[in-house]
């Protein structure tokens, strides 16, 4: 799950229709043919679960100056603060892959950096 961790802006929401697949809250999404879909290059984060083909799903637009928290989908033992990693398929977690990374790690909440550990970062 991707969560807004810190922002200097007033919290805002936008509504879009969901596609054919149900989406949980806290999923990184983008628009595909005008409908929400989980994405490895998200532009929004869902704020509530969205049923398949539901209308008016609430999302928050990702801003580059906001911090988000999520978990690692694999061991991040080789990662360091400042590394940019990819987002796992399904749009819920950060990977340990730095090639073409879009989520810059600002902080590790667990020194072990094990799979499932919380990381804080920003989308770049």
Q: Which residues contact 20 (CB under 8 A, 6 or more apart)?
A: 35, 52, 53
pLDDT tens-place string over residues 89-120? 999 999 999 999 999 999 999 999 999 999 99
- 57 and 107 Cβ atoms separated by less than 8 Å: no
Q: Which residues contact 114 (CB under 8 A, 6 or more apart)?
A: 72, 75, 76, 77
Cβ neighbours around 109 below 10 Å, total: 11
pLDDT tens-place string over residues 12-63? 899 999 999 999 999 999 999 999 999 999 999 999 999 999 999 999 999 9
Domain ranges of the chain: 10-61
- Residues linked to residue 70 through DSSP beta bridges, in sequence order: 119
pTM: 0.91
């Amino acid at each position: 799950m991707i969560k807004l961790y810190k922002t200097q802006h007033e919290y805002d929401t936008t509504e879009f229709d969901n596609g054919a697949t149900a989406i949980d809250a806290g999923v990184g999404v983008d628009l595909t043919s005008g409908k929400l879909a989980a994405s490895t290059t998200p532009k929004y984060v869902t704020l509530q679960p969205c049923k398949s083909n539901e209308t008016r799903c609430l999302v928050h637009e990702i801003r580059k100056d906001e911090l988000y928290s999520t978990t690692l989908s694999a061991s991040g033992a080789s990662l360091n603060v400042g590394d940019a990693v990819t987002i796992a398929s399904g749009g819920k977690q950060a990977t340990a892959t730095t090639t073409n990374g879009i989520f810059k790690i600002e902080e590790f909440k667990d020194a072990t950096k094990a799979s499932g550990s919380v990381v804080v970062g920003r989308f770049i």
